Structure 1
Amino acid sequence: MRGTGYAPCHHGEILQGAFRDGAGSVCRGLVTLPMRDLGTRAEFLRLPGTPWDEIEVLPADRTKAAAAARLAVAACARRRPCGGRLRLHSEVPVGLGMGSSTSDIIAAVHAVAASFGTRLAPSTVADLAVRAERASDPLMLEHRPLLFAQREARVLEVLGDSLPRALVVGCTTGGGLPVDTLTLSVSYGAAEVEAFEGLRAALRRAIANADLALLGRVSTESAWHNQRVLAKEEFPVLAEIAAASGAAGVQVAHSGNVAGLLFDPAAPRLWERVRECVRALRASGITVTRIFSSGPERAGGRECTSTSPTRSPSRNWSVPGTAWSACGSRQ
């Protein structure tokens, strides 16, 4: 009667905007930058005899996860539904645009399903996530780059097998303050849809050719478009530092304050370039949070999470006292 679940997070978006679906209709969509080592763990304890919609959640403010748990109970236990106790442990910073709510929701849904001895299809999990939070990241789906309609719980396109490998220097804008995504409002004209379709085609080519330079141009251009939706005062500085340090580009959370500079792991003088980037960010008053690798894992390889080329998964590098320096620990 006890089930557990897990879901990862992401580090903002590579691309986000408005796109045409297979029928030619325009809808909003996004492509996220995955993170492998942060996420949410959930445990659900069924309490037979309690009403199915009575879900106690800890921490108590995770109301979206509680709503998703109720939906999952209804989907998993049509004969003998009951309530229960949901406990969440998350390493994902809240409000920075890293999919913390979606991570909570998916972990909760998996835990509920496991407690009833069943598994829900990813498409069902996606539908429950959108019903619980109105818009959802595609964290419940396969680990391939997807153009995902976040408000409709459907995949617009599978863009390829994997994103090009990148070393990401993570940072925060806006003082690392949370963003209320419900206050964001945007509409797109025909010219912008055409521009986003061009970026979509370019991203498809970047993935097919493992071309990080092209991916960086796509993510930077998408971030520029997002300036009119969620303006980041530091973004012009980020773009300048990226160019000066030899980064492929900048990616941002389109609904939060996390950002990253993308470096080619095979580039000459990689760690010298990364250190130059870190120094420039700090000198500009921008908080550096984490350095991590993204893209397909190499066989036998381990992630770099420090500013030296030494590979050590237990050594994490973050700035003490930052908005989420605790993300360097895994429990």
Structure 2
Amino acid sequence: MSPTPHATGAAPGAGQAHCHHGEILQGLFLDAQGRPREGLVTLPMYGLGTRARFLPRPGTPREALSVSPPGRTKALRAAALVLAECCTGAVCGGELHLDGDIPVGLGMGSSTSDVLASIRAVADAHGLHLTQQTVAALAVRAERACDPLMLDGRPVLFAQRDGHVLETLGPALPPAIVVGCTLGGGRPIDTLALPRRTYQEGDVGAYARLRNLLRLAITHQDTALLGYVSTHSARLGQQHLPHPEFPTLLRIAWHSGAVGVQIAHSGNVAGLLFDPAARALPHRLHGCRSALAQAGIPATRTLHLPPTPQEPAWTRTSPKRSAAPTSYASTTASSASASKP
């Protein structure tokens, strides 16, 4: 880790992070050295997120940390890691305050959002500029696996347990409109209680094919191919976290003219993907929402790909230079040459 200090001492610091809407693709992939790695491609989402504020308490030891609301242990662990690993010179303990509107336990990256906002707030308080690699490494240590929310950029295949990019897939996802919904009655899922995924012989080949197809979908901005990839990834994901509503989602997608479905691989959030250029699109979207309601599956919000941020994923709120993420290239440079299985 190589943080760059921009100020000494500590002052109140702030940070924030957005969330995602589950995965487009998740599975087992080969890295640049041909080793199997778990990886994922998330469906980006703005408008919901976590805001963190860190209030240093001079005269207290570094270990004297508290978090509000209580129980946000991953965020507290992340704050402690920043102080221990990145802050030099005189440091102190402090209070971490979190505020957010991300539904917890639906597979939308709420814990990673908490962790990233906390890392940024503590870094901001100490005038530190942390690279994306450093933030990713801290996030993995804080929660064992993290989503690529710190990148705020192009679609990537991200090794969530290693904290690095396996491949940059292209400049942007194909255009799509996603009708979001929740499965399982919207009940939260404790991801830490889920057994770790196990894979069968031949899974690497199946996921390599989907990886290749997603790369093509992005290159050619092919919405139908994006839907094909996300649907098949969701189908494979049913082996690990089955959803009784999955066949119903497939039927609704077929009858409403959607190009596919996507489901969070560790939660109950899902979506049906539509081509924005499709004929009679308003009719299709209305029919989709009506069918979801009739099936007892609550529709939530409609998303657009590529997403248009409603607000910056990171806003500087202090007068000194903040711990904003570095340029996207700093994270992807080492992975640009990742082998393509």
Q: TM-score, normalised by structure 2?
A: 0.86
* CA deviation string 1:201-255 (max 9, x = no partner): 0000000111110000000000000101000100111011011111111001000
Question: What amino acid does structure 1 have at the position aligned with 2:195?
Answer: L
Which residue is 1:248 aligned to?
Answer: 259
* CA deviation string 1:282-325 (max 9, x = no partner): 1011111111212154xxx989xxxxxxxxxxxxxxxxxxxxxx
Is 1:38 aligned to 2:68, yes or no? Answer: no
Contact 1:162 1:296 in 2 (8 A): no
Aligned length: 300
Residue 35 to residue 74, structure 1, CA distance change in 2 (3 Å): same
Give secondary structure in 1 for the equivalent of 2:188. coil
Q: TM-score, normalised by structure 1?
A: 0.88
Question: What amino acid does structure 1 have at the position aligned with 2:55?
Answer: L
Equivalent of 2:191 in 175, 181, 185: 181
Equivalent of 2:292 in 281, 287, 292: 281
Partners of 2:172 and 2:154 in 1: CA distance: 5
Contact 2:45 2:307 in 1 (8 A): no
Equivalent of 2:277 in 266, 272, 294: 266
* Structure 1 residue 51, shift from structure 2 partner: 1.4
Partners of 1:168 and 1:255 in 2: CA distance: 19
Contact 1:248 1:262 in 2 (8 A): yes
Give secondary structure in 2 for the equivalent of 1:128. helix
Which residue is 1:323 aligned to?
Answer: none
Partners of 2:259 and 2:268 in 1: CA distance: 20
Contact 1:92 1:100 in 2 (8 A): yes
Question: What amino acid does structure 2 have at the position aligned with 1:105?
Answer: V
Which residue is 1:150 aligned to?
Answer: 160
Q: How does 1:88-127 map to 2 (within 5 A)?
A: 88-127=98-137
Contact 1:163 1:296 in 2 (8 A): no
Identity over aligned pairs, percent: 56
Partners of 2:59 and 2:135 in 1: CA distance: 26
Which residue is 2:95 aligned to?
Answer: 85
Partners of 1:119 and 1:110 in 2: CA distance: 9
Contact 1:43 1:108 in 2 (8 A): yes
Contact 1:76 1:116 in 2 (8 A): no
Partners of 1:45 and 1:76 in 2: CA distance: 17
Contact 1:20 1:26 in 2 (8 A): yes
Give secondary structure in 1 for the equivalent of 2:96. strand
Which residue is 1:215 aligned to?
Answer: 226
Question: What amino acid does structure 1 have at the position aligned with 2:187?
Answer: L
Question: What amino acid does structure 1 have at the position aligned with 2:229?
Answer: V
* CA deviation string 1:124-143 (max 9, x = no partner): 00000000000100000141
Which residue is 2:329 aligned to?
Answer: none
Extract unaligned runs of 5+ from structure 1. 304-331
Equivalent of 1:9 in 14, 19, 39: 19
Residue 302 to residue 62, structure 1, CA distance change in 2 (3 Å): closer
Contact 2:47 2:310 in 1 (8 A): no
Q: How does 1:168-207 map to 2 (within 5 A)?
A: 168-182=178-192, 183-207=194-218
Which residue is 2:80 aligned to?
Answer: 70
Detail structure 1 runs of 4+ shifted over 3 Å in the superposition: none
Give secondary structure in 2 for the equivalent of 1:143. coil
Q: Report the aligned-residue RMSD.
A: 1.4
Give secondary structure in 1 for the equivalent of 2:249. helix
